[in-house]
Amino acid sequence: MSGQARRLSSGGLIDRSRTLSFRFDGKPMTGHPGDTLASALIANGTVLAGRSFKYHRPRGILTAGSEEPNALVELRTGARREANTKATTIELYDGLEAHSQNRWPSLDFDLMSVNSLASPIFVAGFYYKTFMWPAAFWERLYEPLIRRAAGLGKASKEPDPDTYEKAFAFCDVLVIGAGPAGLMAALTASRAGARVILCDEDFRFGGRLLSETLSIGGQSGADWAAAAAAELVQNPAVTLMRRTTVFGGYDQGTYGALERVGDHLPVPLPHTPRQRLWKIVAKRAVLAAGAVERQIVFGGNDRPGVMMASALRSYVNRFAAAPARRLAVFTNNDDGWKTVADCLRTDVRVEAVIDPRPAVPDAFRRLAAQAGARLFEGGQVCDAHGTARGLQSVDVLTAAGSTVPVSVDGLAMSGGWNPAVALTCHLGGRPVWRDDISAFVAGAAPPGLTVAGAAAGGFDLRSCLADGLRLGAEAAEATGFKAAGSTVPEASDETLNLMPLWKVAGSRTKAFVDFQNDVTAKDIALAEREGFRSVEHLKRYTTLGMATDQGKTANVNGLAIMASLTGKSIPETGTTTFRPPYTPVAIGAFAGHHREKHFRSTRLTPSHAWAAEQGAVFVESGQWLRAQWFPKPGETDWLTSVSREVKAVREGVGVCDVSTLGKIDIQGPDAGLLLDRVYINTFSALAVGKVRYGAMLREDGIVMDDGTTARLADDHYLMSTTTANAGKVMQHLEFCHQVLWPELDVQMVSVTEQWAQFSVAGPRARDTLAKLVDPPADISNAALPYMGVIDTAVCGGVPGRLFRISFSGELAYELAVPARYGDGVMRAIVAAGAEYGIVAYGTEALGVMRIEKGHPAGNELNGTATARDLGFGKLMSQKKDYIGRVMAERPGLTDPDRPALAGFKPVKRADRLRAGAHFLGLGAEATARNDEGYMTSVAFSPSLSHWIGLGLIKGGPARYGEHVRAYDPVRGGDIEVEICSPVFVDPEGVRLRV
Amino acid sequence: MSSPLPRFAFTGHLSAVGSLPAGTGIAVTPCNDLALATVIARKGQAALLAERIRALFGITLPTGPKRVAAGGVAFIGMGPGQWLATGQADGDPQVFAAKLKQDLIGLASVSDQSDARAVLRLSGAAARQVLAKGLPIDLHPRVFGPGDAALSQIALIGAHVWQIDERPTYEIAVFRSLAGSFADWLIASAAEFRIATMP
């Protein structure tokens, strides 16, 4: 075929000076800038665009917009392949490659179309009826079977090479849709001075003005739209967003919009995303999203060559492409007649006009005569006949009852218009029926949203312009601007005069309602017979409206058919719920920047760069990335590295970055009082320069968090929290102060990030630090005993604070310096400790040592353990009130049989312990009834050379010496363990006080 | 021994900027020499505190999300009775908080935050467009101008933003540990504009 055989010789909003090459199913074709893929396919004479979902019926292009159910293609190739892309919305670019989908081996010859012969099987409810028994087949057989058969296009399965981003926009007035109503609203609101955002899904502003031969103020509609856009672009308070679909309406005037930044290019421009997801916050919004033309259900209405009348006008007028040579027009309203008039100016010959209305105005009769078309007043198209190559004829059922075949290669149909009300329903609004236009219009719109033009059921151009002017002015005034009085420009007159016709009675062939999901009129009748009469049941039973197009051209016909079957009115039958998004949005757009390692933000410790240089293995600890262990050359398994680190600390000295622990600066005369009320033990009596361990409870008596708090001055404490609970404890303290005890004179703020903090632990810790502290600091045991704190400069002038605290059980300190010095001070510590064989140790060794010392941590503070359970019973002050005190005395929480902290060692020392193993009596059956608790933490103890564990077991400390089973069905473990003290190393605590 | 050099929060995190088109759409500058301190009024001392601040700095303490600056010092409202004070560190940031603490004894609790936040200065014609990709705050000049401040978040990272001038220039403080993630977002978001960094 020669290039663009169906391109009209003149007209259209395309740039004929440039030719774009593209391929469809490998076949080279050409088009022009301004084309969509659909219009270019039509210009190239392509009739067949895809195969249908269930029956693999040949399908053509039905519409010219985002409501398209048929012409779905796989766009691009390789990793950029995108399935189910609507050819009607793809802007043509040079080098575009698209493939049809859901066919094998080829679009023209699809073997799967034998499904069509088996169509009696694939009726509504087919899956429910077929794949029922036996239940064992559901997952193994039926689901894989259904999944293979389902779906249209194929995903690339490769990582998307493009980027997506999210953005926020704000305005006084958001105008959704840039047709006549939207442009008029945007012009009016912007002239008043309001900040306006105008969005349209198309790449050119104008809406249907681009597709119709209408005039406004003496200009063509397209010229008027161009002039309006030119005015708007000059106004700095106006943001014009082309290629942007407002897909959802949310609370408080928030709208979701998808901007296709790079979809019209072979690949996005450098450093720009493919798509951008906008959250638009608008004080007011005007919905001018237009209306979607609906079909008429008759036999063969899905045949390639059958097209919406408005779409046909789009292709002829806007794109100068002729979908047919010999056309029939089937319309139940005046609007469809515009097709006849528009074709007069082209070489598309109108063979027949079929209008089910008993009599049409004389003007239309003259028009039909002028076109040389046969006019069938009171007639209906009952069947369309054709093949994958196109339409051959339509059978017209005349008013007299006879059937007349008309030979055509195209049919334009118009069953009326459905206003695009979706955005008025996303917050729960229900559309209401209007008999005069036989359509649903917006009911109560969400606050701040008004509906203009065709979206409001005012289909004629004059109403659109008047609505736009009025609502644009109203929105501007509502946001504090004064709209100057303007008048609606002169515009073409349009009429509708629709006579509802949902389905043609007497069709002999398959009549489709939902083209994309292959739902026929018979399926709806079957659903009705089987009792699925509610529209919500109808939808799910037949899948009507459940495809990617959400039934934009189908739903109202479907429920109208159901209404007639049940004898109810359409409003009584109702509609299904409209939910966002209005058109599909890629998951990538919702993710934006937050994919792969950017899925969430990462917190790095002050010594991170140093640790990375050392080859540390890192572990995610909440948002933090912490060094887990530091493998040495030759070490291949983590246990070797970790055991080496532990031994080095216990025998020499080690250093660990503990900056991630929460730090809360608490000041004010009542600081001690606040701490007394949140901790179970007393802090108001703590001496300045001392540190105390504390535990705090939730209101219900369960342990919330623990840590040390230092007193730096009479009115100044520094609290530390666990890494995991840093935010929660801060929140808790703020709540206590702001809500429970606002009378307290206390001020607090998180200083977690201010300080880099290093644990320096082991017998040589003091020797190491002595080399680092600046004179005159004295860190001898006498001057800085266990649980003391001093402020001292270190490393020649770096301000620091030295705590004598120990988590490892060794002589240990924590040195805090301003975070910017963390990197340097870590290096200085390692240099100072070199002569003592210092090691850097990670969270794993830290964990091993705390298990060896029986310190409860996150695994034990599990949200069910009480202070007594964890061995802190003695800390619970009897002399003061504190949060959780009363509830901690509930009988259930003081039951001596509660699981309480104990240590565990394998009876056969070589056995490996597993965290999560449950404790059972030695002879007891492995049932939940016999469960005595579980192993919370385990470690291989380099100090004892066997595995040790901590756990919560019934009776806890009272049972030291007893043997139980540690039963681990998940990993097949069942070993005998001895219950023991949780303190495995230095039970007297001698080492940490030396 | 020689005292260790400071390692600033954005060190190593803005290197990718060098591979982007250079120009003047947006300039990115780490504010390494900014001293920061939180100042929280003691109970019942708000009026005396305001008086003291006025006397010390000639600054009227803002009561909302505003930044008031004079002579190199600024106070930024961040909650009822709470401010973030900023000043010149001159290489010794803790001095600012320590002096403030002395000056405000009995009137406010002061905590040094110079190292707790990483502050980046964004300036230039594209600054608003870049920030719109993460900051859910309306920065239009009709709504947000020099002297305005907001505690919000950018790309899931808590961010304290204040506007310095009408170029526009903004300063953004994030938690220090998140400087790398913040820089990743910034570079991805600013890449389409011509960008410049200053050390």
Q: What is the CATH number of the domain that holds B79?
A: 3.30.70.1400
Q: Across the interface, do A167 and B132 touch by the CB < 8 Å criterion?
A: yes
Could you report the per-residue pLDDT of A39-67, keeping only the tens digit for each?
999 999 999 998 888 888 999 999 999 99
In this complex, the residue of A593, A749, A751 whose CB is nearest that of residue B155 is: A593
Could you report the per-residue pLDDT of A748-757, keeping only the tens digit for each?
999 999 999 9
Question: Same domain for B15 and B47?
Answer: no
* Amino acid, res. A531: G
Give the long-range contacts of residues A794-797, CB within 8 A, separation 24 or more: A794/A825, A794/A828, A795/A821, A795/A824, A795/A825, A795/A828, A795/B1, A795/B3, A795/B4, A796/B1, A796/B2, A796/B3, A797/B3
Residue finishing a domain among B66, B94, B112: B112
Annotate A138-158 with DSSP letters as a single string: IIIIIHHHHHHH--SS----S
Question: Same domain for B192 and B157?
Answer: yes
Q: Does B182 touch chain A (CB under 8 A)?
A: yes
- Assign 3-state DSSP to chain A and report helix, strand, coil percentages, each to 5: 25, 30, 45
Q: How many domains does chain B have?
A: 2
Contact B86, B38 (CB under 8 A): no
Q: Across the interface, do A601 and B5 touch by the CB < 8 Å criterion?
A: no
Question: Same domain for B192 and B121?
Answer: yes
Strands of the A306-308 sheet, one edge to the other: A306-308, A410-414, A326-331, A349-355, A374-377
Scanning the structure block, which residue is given the tokens 């320069």? Answer: A689
Report d(CA B149, CA B171) in Å as an integer: 9
Confidence band, pLDDT 50/70/90 cuts, at residue A114? low
Q: Determine, yes or no, domain membership for B94.
A: yes
In this complex, the residue of A163, A601, A819 whose CB is nearest that of residue B115 is: A819
Report d(CA A328, CA A305) in Å as an integer: 10
Q: What is the mean pLDDT of residues A369-396?
A: 96
DSSP B3: P
Which residues does residue A330 pair with via DSSP β-bridges, in sequence order?
A354, A413
Contact list, A601 vs chain B (CB under 8 Å): 155-157, 178, 181-182
- Give residue A786's pLDDT: 98
* Structural domain range at position B71: 35-112
Question: Same domain for B86 and B141?
Answer: no
The stretches in chain B having pLDDT less than 50 are none
Residue whose C-alpha is closest to residue B41's, from B79, B74, B68, B69:
B79
Pairing of strands A449-451, A275-287: parallel
- Between the alpha carbon of residue A288 and those of residues A185, A285, A450, the distances in Å are 9, 9, 9
Q: What is the ipTM of this complex?
A: 0.97
Residue whose C-alpha is closest to residue A182's, from A439, A431, A465, A403:
A465
Candidates A166, A168, A275, A658: best to mutate against B (most CBs of B within 10 A) is: A168
In this complex, the residue of B4, B115, B177 whose CB is nearest that of residue A827 is: B4
Contact list, B6 vs chain A (CB under 8 Å): 820-821, 824
* A538, A541, A543, A546: CA torsion to nearest 10: 70
Residue ranges in A392-460 assigned as alpha helix (H): 422-425
Q: Determine, yes or no, domain membership for B105.
A: yes
Report the b/e string of A12-40 with b at 16+ CB within 10 A: bbbeeeeebebebbeeebbbbbbbbbbbb
In this structure, of A346-350, A368-372, A483-487, A849-853, the range with the lowest mean pLDDT score is A483-487
DSSP A788: B
In this complex, the residue of A168, A593, A602 whose CB is nearest that of residue B188 is: A593
Residue whose C-alpha is closest to residue A291's, from A307, A310, A306, A305:
A310
Contact list, B97 vs chain A (CB under 8 Å): none
Candidates B42, B177, B181, B193: best to mutate against A (most CBs of A within 10 A) is: B177
- Give residue B195's pLDDT: 82
Report d(CA A740, CA B48) in Å as an integer: 26
Residue finishing a domain among B96, B112, B128: B112
Question: Same domain for B57 and B124?
Answer: no
DSSP B27: E
Q: Determine, yes or no, domain membership for B163.
A: yes
Report d(CA A281, CA A271) in Å as an integer: 26
Q: Does A668 touch chain B (CB under 8 A)?
A: yes
Question: Same domain for B161 and B102?
Answer: no
Candidates A166, A171, A593, A670: best to mutate against B (most CBs of B within 10 A) is: A593
Residue finishing a domain among B80, B112, B144: B112
Could you report the per-residue pLDDT of A516-549, keeping only the tens digit for each?
999 999 999 999 999 999 999 999 999 999 998 9
* Amino acid, res. A349: R
pLDDT higher than 50, residue A947: yes
Contact list, B155 vs chain A (CB under 8 Å): 593-594, 601
Q: Determine, yes or no, domain membership for B108.
A: yes
Q: Determine, yes or no, domain membership for B55.
A: yes
CA A550 to centroid of chain Cα atoms: 19
Contact list, B43 vs chain A (CB under 8 Å): 668, 743-745
Q: Which residue of chain A has the CA closest to B129?
A: A167
Annotate A669-713 with DSSP letters as a single string: TTHHHHHHHHBSS--TTPPTTBEEEEEEE-TTSSEEEEEEEEEEE
Question: Same domain for B98 and B46?
Answer: yes
Q: Determine, yes or no, domain membership for B76.
A: yes
- What angle is formed at CA A878 by the lines to CA A877 and CA A879, rounded to 5 degrees? 90
Question: Same domain for B125 and B177?
Answer: yes
Confidence band, pLDDT 50/70/90 cuts, at residue A955? very high
- Give A 850-869 residues with CB within 8 A of chain B: none
DSSP A956: G
- Give residue A52's pLDDT: 86
- Give residue B24's pLDDT: 79
Q: What does the block give as tokens for A909?
A: 């020392």
Could you report the per-residue pLDDT of A195-244, keeping only the tens digit for each?
999 999 999 999 999 999 999 999 999 999 999 999 999 999 999 999 99
Q: Across the interface, do B113 and A754 touch by the CB < 8 Å criterion?
A: yes
Question: Same domain for B121 and B171?
Answer: yes
Q: Which residue of chain B has the CA closest to A609?
A: B12
Q: What does the block give as tokens for A375?
A: 């006019």
Q: Which helix (H) or strand (E) holds A928?
A: none
pLDDT higher than 60, residue A416: yes
- Give residue A135's pLDDT: 74
Residue whose C-alpha is closest to residue B195's, from B121, B120, B124:
B124
Q: Determine, yes or no, domain membership for B1.
A: no
* Percent above pLDDT 90 for chain A: 91
- Give residue A1's pLDDT: 40
First to last CA, chain B: 28
In this complex, the residue of A605, A754, A825 whose CB is nearest that of residue B112 is: A754
Report d(CA B45, CA B110) in Å as an integer: 14
Q: What is the CATH number of the domain that holds B120?
A: 3.30.1360.120
pTM listed for this prediction = 0.94
Confidence band, pLDDT 50/70/90 cuts, at residue A112? low
Report d(CA A407, CA A395) in Å as an integer: 9
Question: Same domain for B82 and B22?
Answer: no
CA distance B191 to chain A (A): 5
Could you report the per-residue pLDDT of A582-621, keeping only the tens digit for each?
999 999 999 999 999 999 999 999 999 999 999 999 999 9
Q: Which residue of chain B has the CA closest to A236?
A: B140
Question: Same domain for B19 and B41?
Answer: no
Question: Same domain for B102 and B169?
Answer: no
Q: What is the mean pLDDT of chain A?
A: 95
Q: What is the mean pLDDT of residues A84-109?
A: 89
Q: Determine, yes or no, domain membership for B157.
A: yes
Contact list, B136 vs chain A (CB under 8 Å): 168, 279
* Amino acid, res. A561: I
* Amino acid, res. A23: R
- Give residue A119's pLDDT: 65
